[in-house]
Amino acid sequence: MRIAVLIVAAGRGTRSRDDGASRAAPKQYQPVRGVPMLTRTVGVFLRHAAVTHVLPVVHGEDLSYYAACILPDAKLIAPSLGGASRQASVRHGLEALASYAPDRVLIHDAARPFVDAVVIDRVLAALDAHVGVVAGVAVADTLKRVDAGGSVIDSVARAGLWRAQTPQGFHFPAILDAHRAAFAAGVDDLTDDAAVAAWHGLSVFIVAGSERNRKLTTAEDMAMAEQDFPSALLPEVRTGTGFDVHRFATGDAVCLCGVRIAHTHSLEGHSDADVGLHALTDALLGAIGDGDIGQHFPPSDARWKGAPSHLFLADAARRVAALGGTISNVDVTLLCEGPKIAPHREAMRGRISEVLGIAVSRVGVKATTTEGLGFTGRREGIAAMAVATVTLPGAH
Ligand code: MG
């Protein structure tokens, strides 16, 4: 079953910028609890096991903001450009998805970053029995009809009234037909896809959404989101460890933590054999539970022959960033009788800080001998240990 997700992120977000900061990024690119809203929203769907394709629809002027906050992912399709209305933006996205022939599509607002797998699963499950399914919340407040002067005219019975949220899920061919028909008929101002479906005569079913899944529209919403749901969104601190060994071979220099050091031998390995960066790469991958260096860069792959190991480290850092994570600190210990590490320690810290994009104060490099004991003591090779601490946004 192919399940595509279309994320509508083409709005101008002007309502959240009532402080006059007109040059600020649109709200979907602004941070919510430290992570850009769109990064959060896209991440929820990328991490959902049933989702096979994710297509964001963005405004043409926002591509640089998009590139800065969304990293490549196997499920992610290059963004489509939005249209003059929300309805047009969704239609552009659906047309772009058509070549992937999804069975189902979930259409979701970028401005609802706190959607979760429970709501997504409810919509997907109901799609087995219905052609269109909307997440929503039954109205609990008493509703008043008010005149232009602010006087209450009467109460409106709330029985049977729901606030529609997203995701709104559909059998893909049906909603594509509905959007095409509405476009052909010149109907272009429907504010959600359930309305487009209903306009086309499709029946739409509603399932429970959640209060957390509310739309962040105004500056006040953004400010409230910073304070809400503390327990669910507390940052999560992760640690990972790495260990590596490379054997000495004939040569005149070693590469350690990204620094070339003249020595009586070289280190043997498929890449540049930088034992320090290999241990550190594994520590970062370990912290996010994303395999190890050998899985992502197999020695059997000729592309990595002689490769500088900073490429592996940068890839691990990208994987952390793709989860909205930040690297709090890293610490590497090199175990060898020689070469002497101390004279190169600051260069190594600087190089690691550069590759990871973190302050030098967050990078530790240390070395020890093993008192002549074991393989490092016999100068047969160099070992390295590393630890990394990563902070992930909450709700992972
Ligand atoms: Mg290695």
- CA 275–ligand 1 middle distance (angstroms): 5
- Alpha carbon of 102 to those of 116, 133, 170: distances in Å? 22, 16, 10
CA 209 to chain CA centroid, Å, is 22
> 90: CA distance to ligand 1 center in Å?
47
CB under 5 Å of ion ligand 1: residues: 244, 278
Neighbours of 173 (CB within 10 A): 14
Rounded distance from Cα 333 to ligand 1 centre (Å)? 14
Residue with the two structure tokens 């772009």? 96
| Cα-to-centroid distance, 323 and ligand 1 (Å) | 25
Q: What pLDDT score was predicted for residue 228?
A: 66
- pTM greater than 0.95: no
User: How many angstroms is it from 372 CA to the middle of ligand 1?
Assistant: 22
CA 358 to chain centroid: 19
User: Alpha-carbon distance 392 to 236, whole Å?
Assistant: 5
**Distance, CA 385 to ligand 1 centroid (Å)?**
11
β-partners of residue 390 are: 238, 327
The pLDDT of residue 223: 83
**If you measure from the C-alpha of residue 360 to the centroid of ligand 1, how many angstroms do you get, rounded to a whole number?**
24
C-alpha–C-alpha distance, residues 83 and 85, integer Å: 6
C-alpha 358 to ligand 1 mean position (Å) = 23
pLDDT value at position 268? 95
Q: How many CA atoms lie within 13 A of 118 on its CB side?
A: 8
Distance of CA 71 from the midpoint of ligand 1 (Å) = 26
Give the distance (Å) from ligand 1 centre to CA of residue 269: 7
Taking the centre of ligand 1 as the mean of its atom positions, its distance from the CA of residue 273, in whole angstroms, is 6
Q: How far is the CA of 362 from the centre of ligand 1 (A)?
A: 23
Rg (CA), the chain: 26
Q: What is the pLDDT of residue 396?
A: 44
Element (DSSP H or E) covering residue 223: helix 219-227
Predicted pLDDT at 222: 84
The tens place of each residue's pLDDT in the chain, 396 residues long, gives 999 999 999 988 655 444 544 557 899 998 887 788 999 999 999 989 999 999 999 999 999 999 988 888 889 999 999 999 999 999 999 999 999 999 999 999 999 999 999 999 999 999 999 999 999 999 999 999 999 999 999 999 989 999 999 999 999 999 999 999 999 999 998 999 999 999 999 999 999 999 999 999 888 888 888 776 554 556 789 999 999 999 999 999 999 999 999 999 999 998 999 999 999 999 999 999 999 999 999 888 888 888 999 999 999 999 998 888 899 999 999 999 999 999 999 999 999 999 999 999 999 999 999 999 999 999 999 999 999 999 987 654
Separation of CA 107 and ligand 1 centre (Å):
44
